[in-house]
Every structure is written in C-alpha cells, then in structure tokens.
Amino acid sequence: MDLLHSGGDGGGFEHCALCGALAAGPCARCGRPTCGDCCVLTEGGVGVWAVCTRCNRRGGKSLRAGWGAALTWIIVPILALALLVFAIEWAFGGK
C-alpha cells in the first residue's frame, strides 16, 4: 500500500489524516486534512477554526496559553498606539 507515496493525484480529494475518510478541510493548527468526524470547531476570536482532535487534545491545556498570547498581541499594539497618541498630544498640544 505505497500508493499514497508513489502514486500521483488521487482524484484531487484529500483524505483524513486520522481515520482515512474523505477530508472536509485542513486542520487550522497542523494543516493536515481532517474529516468532519475528526475535527472540532474552535472559536478563535476572529472566526471558527476546524482543529483536528489530535491537536485539540494537545492544545487542551495550552489553549489558555494561546489565549494569553492572543491577548498579548491585542494589548501590546493598543498600548503602543496609546503611547503614540499620548506622545503626539504631549508634543503638539501640551503648551
């Protein structure tokens, strides 16, 4: 069964990396194709992401860390912008 390795295109359909069924879409984390039964929908703030169950198990505990990183990425630009606005107001309006 080395068809996947040596064979060319298998009709254009990707198969689930976990169970081998017809894949519905790629996992948002590892990029592997997953079917509807092997993926979990996760709300990631911007939208809904399909994450395979393997990544979901792995990221179960690190999901909070991910949220912390996401919050950092949101807060840091806001703080930078606030500092910029403060600096501009202080430079031009502070007489």
Q: What is the three-class DSSP state of 59?
A: coil
The smaller minimum CB distance to Zn ion, of residues 21 and 63, is found at 21
The smaller minimum CB distance to Zn ion, of residues 25 and 77, is found at 25
| Closest separation in Å from C-beta 4 to Zn ion | 15
CA distance readout (Å), 13 to 3, 20, 55, 71, 91: 14, 11, 22, 37, 60
Query: Hey, what are 66's tokens?
Result: 């991910």
| Closest separation in Å from C-beta 37 to Zn ion | 5
| Closest separation in Å from C-beta 41 to Zn ion | 13
The smaller minimum CB distance to Zn ion, of residues 41 and 76, is found at 41
Q: What is the residue whose two structure tokens read 């390795």?
A: 5
Binding site for Zn ion (CB under 5 A): 16, 18-19, 21, 27, 29-30, 35, 38, 52, 55
CA distance readout (Å), 49 to 13, 22, 31: 20, 18, 11
